[in-house]
Structure 1
Amino acid sequence: MTDTDTPTGGAKGNTTLDAIFERTEQKFRERRQILSFQEFFELFQAQPRRYGRNIAQYLRDCFDHFGITERPAPWGTQRRFNLFDCPWDGGEQRLIGQENTQRAVYRLLTNFVQEGRIQRIILLHGPNGSAKSSLINCIMRALEVYSRTDEGALYTFNWVFPTEKISRGSIGFGGSDVTIGGQPRSALTTYAYLDDLSVDAKIASAMRDHPLLLIPLTERERLLKATYGDDVIVPDYLRKGDLDHISKRIFEALLASYQGDMSQVLRHIQVERFFISRRYRVGAVTIEPQMRIDAGSRQITVDRSLQSLPASLQNQTLFEVFGPLVEGNRGVVEYNDVLKRQPELNKYLLATGEKATASLDHANIFLDALLIGSANELYLDAFKKAPDYPSFKARLELVRMPYLLDYMVEAHIYDEQISTTEIGKPILPHTAHVAALWAVLTRLTRPQPDEGEFSDDLKKVIEELTPIQKADLYATGQTPDHLSAELGRELASAIPELMNQSSDTSDYEGRYGASPREMKLLILNAAQNGEYPHLSPLALFDELRQLVRDPSVYPFLQLKPEGPYHRFEEFIETVTERYLDILDHEVRVAMGLVEESAYDTLFKRYIDHVTHAVRGEKIHNRTTSQYEEPDEDLMEQVERQLSITEDAEEFRRSIMSTIAAWSIDNPGQTISYAVIFPKYLAALRNAYFEEHQEQIRKLQQALLVYIDDDGVGGLSRAEQEQAEQTLVNLREEFGYTREGAREVVVFLMQRRYIS
């Protein structure tokens, strides 16, 4: 090839590569990945809060960096840390639910910040599959992202030893005054920017120690006090921490060699930015329960890389520290299923968890890491009986992670599984919903009316709560239909107390029941059921029936029934009926028998007339422009459809009180009767369709004929048009395929419309 030859795509390729090179170099400079000690010190003085953090402060700032989202919940406002939604990955592998656990971890981090050090190990405990590892994984991934921001910059240091030519020339031992790293050799104040050809040896800080630890302890304390004053809690790691073994020996040897001139020692320091990485085990390490040591030390005096060190260092006995505890320093160390390990392997945690130090054979290491573990509830129960438990108890912060008790949140777990798994067949709506509902029903415990400050009337209501009613209460705040408005409000206000009834016991609500792992497997099995052309609730019901036939497979199936609770086979029928309710509603709406807004409009008219009736006012008739008495016939008609049994005047006043209470709790929000009175709107809807049940049955039969006979089947033109529009509505509004619509309509007719 001659000088004029151009390789295929050469010009464009070189331009593209040049652009990549330029952007990479620019990013390197912008991130300030390499600094001298003096430059880092100036950064610290300019922003001591950012560059003088320990891991507790850093983690809390990471939580705050991603922010908080608030959403309404039946018991008040639910606060959720956005970190656990993994916005950097589009929500992939996010943590669903577990807001209480999120807040507990954040609260502990805040305590550690206020105490100036992490002196306890966080232990997440709960049943199998309650997302303990997922929570820790989200934190580690968030740290990876945060460490790449300007706000989350982390720095450590390397020792740089230049070639003899440079080191002799720079301190006046002759040689020409050449330029090195942009500086005349005689004026070289740092070796941080030397290229590889000018360096004989570079030794990284094994523990990724903070650069400020290079300042002697007494001077460091004076510096920190002058920088922060007396009102700021300075972390113990910076106040009392020390260098790793190798760095300490190098520092002392150089200081002696330079006759106490610390500026000459720090000339050897290259401050380097590092980034948290799970893949490369940098500040994010998981220790599995298999037998192995978590940290160790080994002699490296004979290592070839040290032969180029100054003579004062070559005779030193240096020990290198290694292991996952070392790799996780300045970050998070996860102990996965920590109680499955041999007890002897965990005993060092007694001192390490409290003092943030670890004693090795030849060296002590000073840690700045969050130690967080996970444990199955059964192993924790056994551990509490061990003789060592009292010693560990003071060093542990136990954080409970139960199964979710909100089926609407639980459904998101299965929705995400279905959307990311190659199912191989169409998926019908509500499959995830019915799986979640059954799973939550298996986890609920019988409420205890005597454990709480409840009125006598409310005690009776609580005692009679069925599992499905309790599940609705937790998920949506919906109270049983038969309750008066006053009792309904009283029950809704008692939700937090009901949820906490067993929180101080080991048999807490959410400890037992079907785990998400088991339900995910069940969904996959349902997808393989050849009897169904779709992955649908019907296929799922078949799998559930198979599951409950052999209680020996899953421990939760062996729980003794308590009234209507822990009756797992009956729950299948309960969920089936709820599914039929949903289908019934969707098919009715798809048939266009009445617009959904009609119920809302009727109820709004009712509220309008009730408001004026309770106040003793006349109502403005927009048609006649006259003021008239509220329409008593309208109000009585609606109340009949709502099956109101209490005194009408009392019921109407309670309606007004409920609206007023909602407005106080939700200032500035537009009143939505669908939110405040969902069961009343549902009752109006059901009352209408009960009156038209025969008409609905005939329309469903015509729809099946239309599907099976491809639009013919002896139907009139009007019936064909009605059936086609129903199919369109089922597809566009609810997501059913043609065959899926047939499957659900057949099921609905068999269960609800054929005697």
Structure 2
Amino acid sequence: MTLSGFELMKMIGEQQDRRRFQQLNWRGTFSEYLDIVVRNPRVARNAFQRVYDMIMSYGTEEFIDAKKRLIRYKFFSDESFDGDDAIFGLEIPLMRLVNFFKGAARGYGTEKRVLLLHGPVGSSKSTIVRRLKRGLEHYSRTEEGALYTYDWYPGVIENHDTFDWRQVPEAEWEKCPMHEEPLHLIPRELRTTFIERLNETLEPDHQIRIEGDLCPVCRFHFRELMQRYDGDWLKVMNHVRVRRLVFSEQDRIGIGTFQPKDEKNQDSTELTGDINYRKIAIYGSDSDPRAFNFDGEFNIANRGIIEFVEMLKLDVAFLYDLLGASQEHRIKSKKFAQTDIDEVIIGHTNEPEYRRLENNEFMEALKDRTVRIDIPYVTRLRDEVRIYERDFNKKKVRVHIAPHTLEMAAMWAVLTRLEEPKKPNLTLLQKLKLYNGKTLPGFTEDNIKELRKEAVREGMEGISPRYIQDKISNALVSNQEEGYINPFMVLNELESGLKNHALITDEEQRKRYRDLLAIVREEYTEIVKNEVQRAISADEEAIKRLCANYIDNIKAYTQREKVRNRYTGQYEEPDERLMRSIEEKIDIPESRKDDFRREIMNYIGALAIEGKTFDYRTNERLHKALELKLFEDQKDSIKLTSLVSRVIDRDTQEKIDVVKARLIRDFGYNEQSATDVLNYVASIFARGDTRR
């Protein structure tokens, strides 16, 4: 059935929410706006309060990491909001960031500072700012995040008693170019009385403050109308229409972005606006605010946020504009007095540029007005994996990605960022595992805290996630015909790219990165050996039989009895060889075998008292020992090594097919990647390399 263009248009029209559109485009009188302020004083928040409330509106969750209480702000990690920009594993830097906004929202001083995100390339600095900007856009469209501005009607009103602002054509309204707070229309000398009276009716946490004054354009209209009506402020307010304000970076409303360009093609007017020479002929003066375009990034970002991309690459002249904007919340446009602004100023930069600022004695004022927050690379493996799973999931990638492929790439990335541990009995890989929440014998959570404390620059150097993403992408493209990629394909891409890596100029560092790749390959080998072993020994009935045999023997052993042979019916001594072959798989020494056997029997006895049946799966150590024992018994019968020689009889092939099916069903492989893994593990056994 073919759809017509009209039917498609009708479908779109039916899906539109016109009521929602009307809410976002609300217009009313100044009096009606004051009614809104009384009902919901949050509409008059400043930019810092709005950003902080926006972050907190998504909620938080607390968790403990190495005895340290951390807060995860869901605004940054909630994938339902903006999944492509979700941030993982930066809880501590983001806690500092939110504390900055919290202090600024309460007027503790940080609202007079430039927020500077500092860190290596690809560490999520731009992503954090982008998420804040997208968040503000979304928040301003909600009832909780609503804010308002106003327009002027400079024309003549014949009769104020019968005047209806709705009858004025839209083209005759002039918007405030800086989207100001409507409460600025209250004369400064009358604000104290107004605020005191209003705040008497409000909760302590919702007290109103009016900060700042009218912009030059609004000041001109206000002054002209006050003169026209001989100081009658109420009549002036008839020329004002208040409207809902919705932030939009695309429409340059409430969100500004400034980035360095060629010095010859950039000047400060991009920040503070410029003269409109065409209008000089109309108004007769270049100092008339109507002949000036207040459309610089500082102007249009008023009430919201302005981002400075690679801030410290800007010419010094631009950095000077930041001084007044941050400390006094004022900007200086050409030909006009200083203009009040209300906006969050946030920039980001990398280390070389920041070092240049530190060494520039002429920029002391800027350094003093800057709050720096370090944004390092992720150093927790599971968080790094989530970054790549977000970018290379089944919805986006049609090529099959074999299990552990993204994990191994992430493992190498994290290893390059970690500092070598000072403890002689700890390897870099073990340190990574400790950071990832794994417990290791001899190491406590206090040790993890010490490791992090002694590694001052951890995460500020190493391989960027962008490099990993590029190489995974290369592997996907190169192996598109095969229909899948595995860890070795990606690791080979990562290694081959090192010789042309633009940020690696030191041959010693390049060698270190290659050595770390070798460590990752070894770790992957251990992982897949274990997986194949588990797949081979996944015969539930065989494990149950082996477990029952073991339990019968240790019961007889601990009670000094004999075991009845199921085949001959004769009573025999407990099978010591069988018991030790299982216990040795989990490193139970000869001297501890009696304790382990009594421990198992006591556990079974305790369950029996509670009326419960023993299940080997509830005892992790015994379960592992049984799997390894079964694998050892079955690997020869399966003749996995015959895969290498390609000489496989029907019985062996059937058993291999069962193992392959288990790898596909239980571990996430497809046909090809499962075959690869079996061939690889078979080659290890063929070499006699069965170390665990």
- TM-score, length-scaled by structure 1: 0.74
Aligned match for 2:670, one of 716, 729, 737: 737
Q: 1:126 offset after TM fit, Å?
A: 0.4
Q: 1:259 offset after TM fit, Å?
A: 1.0
Distance 1:554 1:700, change over 3 A: farther
Structure 1 match to 2:517: 572
Q: Secondary structure in 2 aligned to 1:570? A: helix
Opposite residue 177 of structure 2, the aligned amino acid is: A
Q: Secondary structure in 1 aligned to 2:243? A: strand
Aligned match for 1:33, one of 9, 23, 26: 26
Q: Secondary structure in 2 aligned to 1:590? A: helix
Residue 288 of structure 2 corresponds to residue 295 of structure 1: no
Aligned match for 1:223, one of 178, 194, 213: 194
CA distance in 1, matches of 2:252, 2:683: 58
Aligned match for 2:99, one of 94, 97, 107: 107
Distance 1:532 1:411, change over 3 A: farther
Q: 1:360 offset after TM fit, Å?
A: 1.8
Structure 2 match to 1:699: 638
Q: 1:574 offset after TM fit, Å?
A: 1.5
Are the aligned partners of 1:289 and 1:337 in contact in 2 as well (CA < 8 Å)? Answer: yes
Distance 1:368 1:556, change over 3 A: farther
Structure 1 match to 2:152: 159
CA distance in 2, matches of 1:682, 1:402: 38
Structure 1 match to 2:655: 722
Opposite residue 271 of structure 2, the aligned amino acid is: A
Q: 1:354 offset after TM fit, Å?
A: 1.1
Structure 1 match to 2:368: 394
Are the aligned partners of 2:644 and 2:682 in contact in 1 as well (CA < 8 Å)? Answer: no
Structure 2 match to 1:643: 587
Residue 295 of structure 2 corresponds to residue 330 of structure 1: no
Structure 2 match to 1:92: 84
CA distance in 2, matches of 1:79, 1:700: 52
Are the aligned partners of 2:58 and 2:73 in contact in 1 as well (CA < 8 Å)? Answer: yes
- Stretches of structure 2 that go unaligned for 5 or more consecutive residues are 559-575, 600-614
Are the aligned partners of 1:332 and 1:370 in contact in 2 as well (CA < 8 Å)? Answer: yes
Opposite residue 54 of structure 1, the aligned amino acid is: N
Distance 1:20 1:694, change over 3 A: closer
Aligned match for 2:139, one of 133, 139, 146: 146
CA distance in 1, matches of 2:464, 2:437: 22
CA distance in 1, matches of 2:132, 2:349: 18
Opposite residue 497 of structure 1, the aligned amino acid is: E
Q: 1:357 offset after TM fit, Å?
A: 0.6
Aligned match for 2:381, one of 389, 392, 407: 407
Distance 1:226 1:557, change over 3 A: farther
Residue 490 of structure 2 corresponds to residue 519 of structure 1: no
Residue 319 of structure 2 corresponds to residue 346 of structure 1: yes
Are the aligned partners of 2:37 and 2:44 in contact in 1 as well (CA < 8 Å)? Answer: yes
Opposite residue 162 of structure 2, the aligned amino acid is: A
Aligned match for 1:477, one of 426, 438, 454: 438
Structure 1 match to 2:487: 537
Residue 393 of structure 2 corresponds to residue 444 of structure 1: no
Distance 1:340 1:233, change over 3 A: farther
Q: 1:434 offset after TM fit, Å?
A: 0.2
Q: Secondary structure in 2 aligned to 1:373? A: strand
Q: 1:201 offset after TM fit, Å?
A: 2.3
Q: 1:161 offset after TM fit, Å?
A: 3.6
CA displacement, residues 478-529 of structure 1 (integer Å, 9 cap, x when unaligned): 22xxx3xxx33xx3233233223244xxxx1111111101111221233344
Structure 1 match to 2:36: 43
Distance 1:133 1:447, change over 3 A: same
Residue 651 of structure 2 corresponds to residue 750 of structure 1: no
Distance 1:598 1:344, change over 3 A: farther
CA distance in 1, matches of 2:414, 2:387: 13
CA displacement, residues 283-329 of structure 1 (integer Å, 9 cap, x when unaligned): 2222112142242344569749989xxx9xx9987544221111111
Structure 2 match to 1:586: 531
Identity %: 23
Matches of residues 637-676 of structure 1 in structure 2 within 5 Å? 641-643=585-587
Structure 2 match to 1:662: none
Are the aligned partners of 1:545 and 1:572 in contact in 2 as well (CA < 8 Å)? Answer: yes
Are the aligned partners of 2:644 and 2:679 in contact in 1 as well (CA < 8 Å)? Answer: no
Distance 1:683 1:252, change over 3 A: farther
Residue 49 of structure 2 corresponds to residue 57 of structure 1: yes
Matches of residues 225-244 of structure 1 in structure 2 within 5 Å? 225-228=196-199, 238-244=209-215
Q: 1:124 offset after TM fit, Å?
A: 0.4
Are the aligned partners of 1:86 and 1:92 in contact in 2 as well (CA < 8 Å)? Answer: no
Q: 1:349 offset after TM fit, Å?
A: 1.0
Are the aligned partners of 1:95 and 1:138 in contact in 2 as well (CA < 8 Å)? Answer: no
CA distance in 1, matches of 2:686, 2:324: 70
Opposite residue 495 of structure 2, the aligned amino acid is: R
Residue 173 of structure 2 corresponds to residue 202 of structure 1: yes
Structure 2 match to 1:263: 234
Q: Secondary structure in 2 aligned to 1:361? A: coil
CA displacement, residues 401-423 of structure 1 (integer Å, 9 cap, x when unaligned): 11110111101112222227966
CA displacement, residues 28-51 of structure 1 (integer Å, 9 cap, x when unaligned): 444462121100011112222x12
Opposite residue 202 of structure 1, the aligned amino acid is: W
Give RMSD over aligned pairs.
4.2
CA displacement, residues 622-663 of structure 1 (integer Å, 9 cap, x when unaligned): xxxxxxxxxxx99999976543689969x99xx9xxxxxxxx
Residue 183 of structure 2 corresponds to residue 212 of structure 1: yes
CA distance in 2, matches of 1:641, 1:10: 70
Distance 1:320 1:747, change over 3 A: same
Q: Secondary structure in 2 aligned to 1:348? A: helix
